[in-house]
Each structure stands twice: as structure tokens, then as C-alpha cells.
Amino acid sequence: MSTSQGKLVIFSAPSGSGKSTLVQYLLKEVPGFAFSISATSRAPRGTEKDGVDYYFLSNEAFQQRVAEEAFLEWEEVYPGTCYGTLKSEVEKRWAAGQAVAFDIDVVGGKNLKARYGEHALALFIQAPSIEELERRLIVRGTDSSDKIKQRIEKASWEMDQSPFFDHTIINDDLDRAKAEAKKLLIEFLAK
């Protein structure tokens, strides 16, 4: 068994904090580390592709997977919009001897950390401020103004959850955040 097998690396943050950017960087930079594609009941945004960014499921198909107990964890993140981690995704990565990376909402991250304890490294990615978070969401251009408002309202609560994670990385300088995340990841995978 490789040292990475059976390990999870959780990246959680309010939308717009830069967690997806950090995950994509680390997947290219750190060997033995693979992405778990989450399932969602929402429609694709921008250039997102099914089976690459998410498994896009109808509400009915998502609820069927819930009934089949196909998820390690799942949650209705926004009214009518569910996200979840498929057991099959994690098992596939572990079978290949890889640590599994999660780009996941804060509640899902807390749930995975509670379930896997020391086998999981939970990183909370935080924007320097709510105002900067809002600016990033506007610049990203993938959400309506109503959706941005909803995300910002949720972000205050999410930022209060950072003490439940192993480390908080303030993403006020992307190069520094990348270096900090890479160092923490390499140390965790070497254990």
C-alpha cells in the first residue's frame, strides 16, 4: 500500500475564495494525488463538463443515489441544489494508490474530516475579506446577482467554520497560498 492510499485531502471555502484554483495547481504539482469528482443536481455553469468538473444529475437521479446510499456525504447546499461525494469515486482513487482530493463546500468538508479523522487533511481556503469575495464572484461572471448575494450571505457563516479545519490558508496572494498548500500537502502525504 502506498503512503497516499486511504488518505483524503479536503479543500473547503466560501465560493470565490480560490479553492478550485489551488486544487488544479496541486493536481499538476504533487504526484499521488487525484481529484474526486462530486455529483450535483445543479446545471453546468460556463464551460463545466459532465464527468470532468461534476457529475451533473437531475434532482430525481440525485435522490435515487441518496436512496441507494451511493454517497459518502451529501447535502442540499442551496434550496433545490444538492452536492455529494460518491463512494465509487473515492474507492476508484484509493484502488489506484492515490490520495483523494476534494473541492467541497464547508459542511461537506467538516463531515468528511469528522468521518476520516487523521486520514484526512482539511484545508480551509479563505479570501482576505467578504468584500474581496464578492468582487471575485462578480469578476468570475458565472452567477446572477441574486446567486452572488446568496453566496455572500452564506460566506459569513462559512468563514466562522475555519477552526474546524486543520489549517486555514488566507488566499490574499495566490503564489504564497499555492506554496503553503503544496508544503502542507507534501508533509501530509509523506506521513
pLDDT tens for each residue of 31-62: 988 999 999 999 998 899 999 989 999 999 99
Strands annotated E in the chain: 8-12, 33-35, 39-40, 55-56, 71-78, 81-86, 99-104, 120-126, 167-170
Does residue 95 sit within a domain? Answer: yes
Contacts of 57 (CB under 8 A, 6+ apart): 39, 40, 41, 65
Q: Which residue has the cell 469528482?
A: 37
Q: Please give the average per-residue pLDDT across 24-34, as a whole number.
A: 92
Does some domain include residue 2? no
pLDDT digits (tens, 9 = 90+) for 100-136: 999 888 988 999 999 999 999 999 999 888 888 888 8
Is residue 66 included in any domain, yes or no?
Answer: yes
Average pLDDT over all residues of the chain:
90
Say if 1 falls within a structural domain: no
* pLDDT band at 11; cut points 50, 70, 90: very high
Range of the domain at 163: 8-190
pTM score: 0.84
CATH of the domain at 107: 3.40.50.300
Counted domains in the chain: 1
In a domain, 3, yes or no: no
